Structure 1
Amino acid sequence: MDIFKVAGVDLKKGPDWSSEETMLKEHSGYVCGVDEVGRGPLAGPVVAAAVILDAENIPEGLNDSKKLSEKKREALFDSIYERAIAVSVAEATVEEVDEINILQASLLAMRRAVEGLEVSAGSALVDGNKDPGLHMPTNTLVKGDGRSLSIAAASIIAKVFRDRMMKKLAEKYPDYGWEQNAGYGVPKHMAALKLVGVTPFHRKSFAPIRAILEQKNSPNH
């Protein structure tokens, strides 16, 4: 299997407008791209974005946010806000992640992002293979941020927004290196967890955090 081909789409070429064109032909109204970031980290919320691009004014260089440098993402973040018809960002909190699980929290954040659009969309393109349950026709696209320009834009907005949020939290909790690791379980973060302990922004339902809390609360500790 060619790892660069998903459902016959050549990912080496980067995202295009073909998925949007299909939705626009089949459904009335605007199409929004939807993506989320922050499923894997041990700390911080999960953040989703919904973006309605203007087909006549699409920023150049849109791609999967993970394939772009921080500098490029920051520049595109501003450009998307300037040129898009509508942009919305939403989150599901750490408490919600722990309460309903990370997948359900991700889908909740996506629903909130779409509901927050100031201009209503008529259909949606969503990254991944799970339908978030939007009140509109929805197409899910595996690796959609590398296939659809609207999803790529949403991935950039969500990533930059969340990274900025984690940098802010790092000012209050400086030991964990969140300004660099965005809450992922890298060695510096794991070492700080053992030394300093768990913050209110850690996901207590995630196995490494749960293990630390169980050890701390065990009678032999």
Structure 2
Amino acid sequence: MIRDKSAKTSAKAAPRKDAANKAAPAKAGKASAAKPSTGKSAGAKGVIAVAPPSFRRERALIKRGIWPVAGCDEAGRGPLAGPVVAAAVILDPDRIPRGIDDSKRLTAEQREKLFDKICATAQVSVAVASPARIDRDNILRASLWALKRAVVALPEQPRHVFVDGRDRLDTACDCEAVIGGDGIVLSIAAASIVAKVTRDRLMCALAQDCPGYGFEQHKGYAVPEHLDALNRLGPTVHHRSFFAPVAAARAKHMPWTVEPVQDLFSVTEVEVQVEARIAIDASANL
């Protein structure tokens, strides 16, 4: 007798397919439950969640008995005009304002509000490196000088300092450089807000003395509007002389202030006269 095996095969396979269909929603449910919520829509792609700076490093030092702990940062390394402003902040662990973040991630309105809250609850100091100092020392040394001055000017001297960047400060206490620190260490983030707001206010004040440059808008950065004003009006005393666009504008509007540069590859003929005098000892046997 010949049996039909196809019926049995389909009957056996059917439950497996049904079981797979039943298991699929369960697995999907587990996957969705395991995936953390980022607060973004599920359809958004390419969105990277950035964690705000924390007070973790400061608390670790407090547990070891190290206090006060300061964070410091500067604003204005890149602009063509205006000073570099450095700030140092010692946050009160019991009165930390909410919303502190890297100043670059905040709007101008948010920075202004946080500036007032930080100044009301923390120890704050500010130091300024002028364009003349930047021209004399270069931008890096002027920035480090201002950061150190801000730390020294704090009402209470810290026992540990966090500074944004890769360069440590020559301070009396331990200093730790944190690359990208304004997005990692809360004290540095607070200092970045204070430095940024202070410098923005200074540039708005300079805009009243130097109309036509738009300092109140671009704060001295090399945007097209600023470059156009430099080309039309020339540099002011608030511009950094050795930054390339400023030097070019100075050469155009004030050529008498530009020192001629010697061509190191030019050939110069130098006439040299050598007078040889040889004293011969008569008694020598030649």
Q: Shared topology, TM-score over 0.5?
A: yes
Give 5+ residue unaligned stretches, structure 1.
Answer: 1-9
The equivalent of 1:155 in structure 2 is 192
Whether the 8 Å CA contact 1:127–1:145 is kept in 2: the answer is yes
Which of 58, 63, 69 in structure 1 is aligned with 2:96? Answer: 58
2:117 maps to 1:110: no
Matches within 5 A, 1:121-160: 121-160=158-197
Match of 1:199 in 2: 236
Q: Residues of 2 paired with 1:165 and 1:28: CA distance?
A: 35
Paired residues in the alignment total 209
Q: Give the deviation of 1:13 after TM superposition.
A: 1.1
Match of 1:62, SS state, is coil
Aligned partners of 2:76 and 2:85 also within 8 Å: yes
Q: In the aligned structure 1, how far is the partner of 2:65 from the partner of 2:174?
A: 8
- In the alignment, the residues of structure 1 paired with residue 239 and residue 49 of structure 2 have an alpha-carbon distance, to the nearest angstrom, of 34
Q: Percent identity?
A: 47
1:43 and 2:81 matched: yes
CA distance in 1, matches of 2:242, 2:169: 22
Hey, what does 1:95 align to over in structure 2?
A: 132
Query: Match for residue 57 of structure 2?
Result: 19
Q: Take 1:27 and 1:46, find their aligned partners in 2: how far apart are those partners?
A: 34
- Equivalent residues of 1:11, 1:147 under 8 A apart: no
Structure 2 runs not aligned, ≥5 long: 1-47, 257-286
Q: Name the CA distance, whole Å, in 1 between partners of 2:60 and 2:50.
A: 21
Alpha-carbon distance between aligned partners in 1 of 2:191 and 2:52, rounded to the nearest angstrom? 15
Contact 2:100/2:190, CA 8 A, preserved across alignment:
yes
* Cα offset, 1:132, TM superposition: 2.1
| Contact 2:234–2:253 (8 Å) recurs in 1 | no
Task: For 2:235 and 2:49, locate their aligned partners in 1 and report how far apart those are by CA, in whole Å.
Answer: 39
Give the Cα–Cα distance (whole angstroms) in 2 for the partners of residues 25 and 204 of structure 1.
48
**Aligned twin of 1:178:** 215
Alpha-carbon shift at residue 133 of structure 1 (Å):
1.4
Max Rg structure: 2
**AA of the residue aligned to 2:112:** E
Work out which structure has the larger RCO, using CA pairs closer than 8 Å and 6 or more positions apart in sequence.
1
8 Å contact kept, 2:61–2:67: no
- Offset, 1:29: 2.7
Alpha-carbon displacement from aligned partner over 1:162-193 (angstroms, at most 9, x marks no partner):
00000000011121111010100111111111
TM-score normalised per structure 1: 0.90
SS in 1 for 2:156: coil
SS at match of 1:51: strand
Shift of 1:81: 0.6
Q: Is the 8 Å Cα contact of residues 72 and 163 (structure 2) preserved in structure 1?
A: yes
Aligned match of 1:74: 112
How far off its partner does 1:45 sit? 0.4
TM-score by length of 2: 0.70
Structure 1 segments of 4+ aligned residues over 2 angstroms from their partners: 21-29, 214-219
Letter of the 1:156 partner, please give it: I
